[in-house]
Amino acid sequence: MRGALIGAAALAAALVLAGGATAQGLRPLVTTAPVPFFIDGGEPGTGFEPGDRDLARWALEAWADATGGVLRLREAPEEQARIRIYWAPPAGGQYGQMQPLVVGGQAGAAVFIRPDTTALGPAIGPAAARDPLLRDTIVYLTCLHELGHAVGLGHTDAYDDIMYSFQFGGDLVRYFTRFRERVETRADIARASGLSSGDRNRLRALYSTEGRP
């Protein structure tokens, strides 16, 4: 994506949320031990805010909780982490991307999140600037989507799913604002999750006894 987006249609094209093409072949993470993760601190010019690390952690914990305890997590240094979350600058392109990694012979993922919401077009950008909770909602849901790829899930065509792809169309503004309407404080984001029953069912099937790597 180069330059400011103009309107929700252009943003939808960018928010196919890249990562999907590679994520389709990503296996579930090996869960015989807690999975090490790393969340980077953002660099100047990325639009990163210190609280964004919380949003990324909450998104990762939402997926772990949805496995019913099969997927456990532990924070670790970057070089040891099998899930690594980075904050991408506006010039980087997509708002979210997942790239598979292999760490110590085991599957992992690097996730890149663009926290700058100023170029989201007139339908969303100004509203996110006025409403910090809408801005945090967008960053959180982007983390949640890309981390869904990181734990092994591909895109769906179900609008209620966090793993939904805008390749299938859909109301982009409503996709974000429906979650915003569920939260009154920033702390509510962690409790609201954002996962649909379809997301949870697919994840549990992936991490069932039969489906474990």
Show me where the domains of the chain are located. 8-206
Of 93 and 184, more confident: 184
Give the pLDDT confidence of 98-125 residue by residue, as tens digits: 999 999 999 999 999 999 998 788 889 9
Mean pLDDT over 133-147 rounds to 97
Alpha helices (H) along the chain: 8-14, 20-23, 52-66, 125-130, 132-150, 172-180, 188-192, 197-206
Which tens digits make up the pLDDT trace of 60-104? Answer: 999 999 999 999 999 999 999 999 999 998 876 678 999 999 999
pLDDT of residue 5: 25
Q: What is the per-residue pLDDT for 90?
A: 84
pLDDT value of residue 209: 53
For residue 93, what pLDDT is reported? 61
DSSP per-residue letters across 138-154: HHHHHHHHHHHHHTT--
* Banded pLDDT at 208 (limits 50, 70, 90): confident
The pLDDT value recorded for residue 26 is 65
What predicted TM-score, i.e. pTM, was given to this entire model?
0.87
Residue 23: which pLDDT band, with cuts at 50, 70 and 90?
Answer: very low
How high is the pLDDT of residue 19? 37
Give the closest residue to 207 by CA, choosing from 61, 31, 86.
31
Q: Which one is predicted more confidently, 35 or 1?
A: 35
**Mean predicted confidence (pLDDT) in 168-173:** 88
Q: What is the pLDDT of residue 20?
A: 38
Higher pLDDT, 124 or 57: 57
Q: Quick one: what percent of the chain has pLDDT higher than 70?
A: 84
Q: Comparing C-alpha atoms, which of 25, 26, 22, 28 is closest to residue 211?
A: 28
DSSP string, 114-125: ----TTS-TTTH
Class level of CATH domain 8-206: alpha beta
